[in-house]
Copies of this chain bind each other. A is one copy, B any other.
């Protein structure tokens, strides 16, 4: 009887997946080469002889082979996935950022895993955890204020991170954005220089809008010695309806009928414009209006909206470049990229 220190005949511990899946092995068999050669043909075609390459390509076509990036990711420890967290994709500010960002990343073979956080830190944390388990090669976060757990998770994952739409001296890894307080102050100075001595703020939105408002208010008061009237809707999105309501409130409750109104978004500013027109208030003669964001429509309202321009698509692109540079392992990377902003004078102020 044969000695049996040879390896035991393997017991099938597991049924194979449902039949028919085409793998590199299948393709290789068809082309008369091994599985590795197929892998090489795909990742480094010039490391394979022209003849085999052709046979492999034919086999791929014939079988309809689609490489399994999951297996590739596991083996190479590169997922080619980028995790992107934004507060709300229905907000054009963020979706246009993403547009520029993902375009660039896609060109380099990365796909975007996208989630909304709804301005909620707890949601951000939970979503980030879910994303990190998918082992993204990079992470895009909106804003620079994050929970300690978010920072900890990110640091632990040793993954490049870019925070956008704001800047700070202490980014997790790097940030691309602009100073919101600076923007608020710039508007206050612009308004003052334009001769307005009274002001109101119309706010709806996130913590960044709050900081713009605060800086505007402080600076305007400092320059003009007058209080700034505040209309705040911190909860929920900035909408045209809220802009209209805000002007009503300003007029009816605050008797605010002259001066400048600084809105936290173009959409609200547009609402103010509409309500002003409806109420027979002339803009900018009686009331001036300044928006924020310079969305497409801002140049085409009547009167055209004076606002603050930020190049969202370029910002998204810079963010992508920051990540890509990190993937390349470049040294001396900037950790704070300030893309700035610009006050655009049109007709409304």
Contact A114 B135 (CB under 8 A): no
Interface size of A in residues (CB-CB distance below 8 Å): 63
Contact B95 A296 (CB under 8 A): no
Chain B residues near A156 (CB-CB < 8 A)? 64, 66
Expressed in whole angstroms, the minimum distance between the Cβ of A64 and any Cβ of chain B is: 5
Least CB separation from A106: chain B residue: B115
Chain B residues near A135 (CB-CB < 8 A)? 68-70
Q: Among the listed B6, B67, B131, B134, which residue makes an inter-chain contact with A5, where contact means beta carbons less than 8 Å apart?
A: B6
> Does A179 lie at the interface of the complex (its beta carbon under 8 Å from any beta carbon of B)?
no
> Does A189 lie at the interface of the complex (its beta carbon under 8 Å from any beta carbon of B)?
no
Contact A69 B133 (CB under 8 A): yes
Contact A90 B99 (CB under 8 A): yes
Least CB separation from A2: chain B residue: B5
CB within 8 Å for A131 and B116 given contacts A239-B297, A240-B297:
no
List of 10 A-B pairs having minimum Cβ-Cβ separation, nearest first: A240-B297, A69-B133, A114-B114, A89-B95, A241-B300, A240-B300, A90-B95, A69-B134, A70-B73, A278-B302
Query: In the complex this chain forms, how many copies of it are found?
Result: 2
> Does A157 lie at the interface of the complex (its beta carbon under 8 Å from any beta carbon of B)?
yes
For A68, A70, A98, which residue has the most chain B Cβ atoms within 10 angstroms?
A: A70
Least CB separation from A71: chain B residue: B74
Chain B residues near A226 (CB-CB < 8 A)? none
Chain B residues near A244 (CB-CB < 8 A)? 300
Contact A70 B134 (CB under 8 A): yes
> Does A130 lie at the interface of the complex (its beta carbon under 8 Å from any beta carbon of B)?
yes
